Chains A and B, each alone.
Chain A
Amino acid sequence: MLKVYADGEEVVKVEINTGYNHRGVEKLLEMNSFYKGVFISARICGICNTVHADVYVRGVEHVLGIEPGPRAKYLRVLAMELERIHSHMIINAIMAEILGFDTLFMLMMRDREYVMKAKEVLTGGRVIADYFMPGGVRRDIDDTKRERILDLLKKVKPRLEYYRKLFETDPTITNRLSDVGVLKPRDITLHSLVGPVARGSGIKTDVRMEDKYDAYDEIDFNVIVRTEGDSLARMLVRWDEALESLKMCEYILTHLPQGQAVVDERKLPRVLPPGEAFTRVEAPRGELTYYIIGGGRDRPYRVKVRTPSFNNIINSGFSYLRYSIADVPVILVSYDPCISCMERAVLIKDGEKKYVRLKDIVSMKRG
């Protein structure tokens, strides 16, 4: 993935090698109907599946000309913010693990299970929440589920505050992370780095504040910006964002509007009219953009996906120079690499296709 050339202990050159995991998603989205695309785009990445599905569904809604109701918008934001909390917890746990701090990794993963349980109560799946559909969402919540999610969030909140205090004051972590991988604001915009990487160096950019999609125009939140620009600043931005997300989830659960949230999938239009839409969303890793062109059939003409890890990892080869080899994993993990989001090429297999069904296995066993 990263080819590092070193002179003694100092890094002199870095080459980025991708392409071991390319899966042909853009061609696949052109070959299937746009309803199947809702499920295909969710499976580009396992940990950011709600944001991929949300931005695709919003692009399709712009081309079709339909809009969801207010209750559906609030529930969409709830699913995305729950995912932001557990994504930030796992990248901080991985950072603790590569520093050698395995105890902290295990403690954080235990507390992350509460958030995944909350996501299961809301959407029906712990990791992949097939929750989005053009026009609204696929499930609704009642009062018992609402109380359960509020209880789970109440258990997670003191743990998040404890871990944030630990990252700021513990000498094991601060000695390894301070002043490593410093990025200046000029480097960030010229190299198109996005997300907490940009917010850790003083650039105030957040798509939730700029575009105000879904229900973000009615929910108050702060955009967290730090000015130091090193790895510790980027990790602390993520902890502060996780606490903000938790406050947002509690606000949503206590202020849900009434109305119809679930869309009847049998009555939706079957053809994507000609038109184009460019939608953006704030994924846990940065700015995720989709560009959808409709062609008058049931398949889109072109879908272009640009994930935040694409820019953050491929364009950041300059930031490792003149640090020692032991700093390279610390810098790489502080950019939050999501490998499946980054490598989305086509993998073609020539030759004939062979399907093995479950019935064939059973008959092979018997006969």
Chain B
Amino acid sequence: MVSLWREILKNVFKKPVTIEFPKVETPIEKDFRGLQYADLNKCTGCSLCALECPSKAIEMEKLPEDVKLKHNPRGLYPVINYPSCVFCYRCVTICPVNAYITTNEYRMATEAEKLLSDALSLKTLKREGL
């Protein structure tokens, strides 16, 4: 008969396996499917990501007035609504020019201003004077 007593005694003297998040960071892989946004230096505004998203979380918006890019004649860029996104990464793999930047950021239960995809995308343009 296998007794559970030895197992229990062994575990009494071990430290708990609980990870005290958010004091300690959870160990996560570098290529975990986390937050993603578009790099506007490469995006051509073809809208394939918006057409292929299974949960219709991507909308195409017009670029700000003063930004004119040669590789983006229509002047559209994708904006992702993260509460609808299921992080399947279909947008990342279907993009013809590989314009998506992927991270392993999973901490999305934060204030809404920090999660705006248009701000993240526009920051990639590195405009002067801003």
Contact = CB atoms under 8 A, between A and B. Distances in A.
Interface in A1-47: 32, 35-36, 39-40, 43
A169 B1 contact: yes
A190 interface: no
Contact of B17 (A110, A120, A358): A110
A103 B116 CA distance: 43
A171 B29 contact: no
Contacts, number: 68
Which DSSP category, helix, strand, loop or mixed, fits chain A's interface? helix
Contacts of B112: 358, 361-362, 365
A43 B2 contact: no
A120 B31 CA distance: 9
A311 to B, nearest CB: 28
A121 B29 contact: yes
Nearest to B52: A35
A266 interface: yes
Given A124-B33, A265-B93, A166 B82 contact: no
B7 interface: yes
A165 B88 contact: no
A113 B28 CA distance: 13
Contacts of B87: 125
Interface string A154-177: 000000001001100111000000
Nearest to B51: A33
A358 B82 contact: yes
Interface of B: 1-2, 4, 7-8, 11, 17, 28-29, 31-33, 52, 54, 79, 81-83, 86-90, 93-94, 96, 112-113, 115-116, 118
